[in-house]
Amino acid sequence: MTADATEKDRITSELAMHIGSLERTRHYTRRFVYTPGVEHLASVARAYWLIDLIASLCRNPNLAGEEFQVWKLSVHEDRSATLVVTDGNDHELKRREIHRTDFPLDEISLYLTDDTLLLPSEY
């Protein structure tokens, strides 16, 4: 099931309202905390799997020492997706292909910095 344009617009608008908060949720792996905006994304997009995938991939030695990371999920027309992490300067650090997803947006970027996963609007 894919989201129609109205649903995508609604989710995008809701995410844009998250502009910062001191509230944090600790991921069960204890690798990072995440913001209310990321929690909202996971809830409305049924994408807790995305937070879990980032938590598992952020242990990669290629990412050690990278203080600022941009995680971008891009969903393709065939409903496969690609998750790419960069250093924020378009230097690719890691890539993961996802064979099938029901993620409702065409793409989303999340930042991981200071052990906090957040939406760009919350940075």
**Domain residue spans in the chain?**
5-59+66-122
102 CB contacts (<8 Å, ≥6 apart)? 1, 2, 46, 79
Rounded to whole angstroms, the Cα distance separating 30 from 12 reads 28
The helix/strand count (H/E) of the chain reads as 3, 7
Q: What was the pLDDT predicted at 3?
A: 67
Average pLDDT over residues 29-43: 91
Q: What was the pLDDT predicted at 2?
A: 55
Q: pTM for the full model?
A: 0.87
Q: Is the pLDDT of residue 81 over 90?
A: yes
Phi then psi dihedrals of residue 102, to 5 deg: -110, 20
- Percent of the residues in the chain that have a pLDDT greater than 90, as a whole number: 65
Of the candidate CATH numbers 2.40.50, 3.10.450, 1.20.58, 1.10.8, the domain formed by 5-59+66-122 belongs to 3.10.450
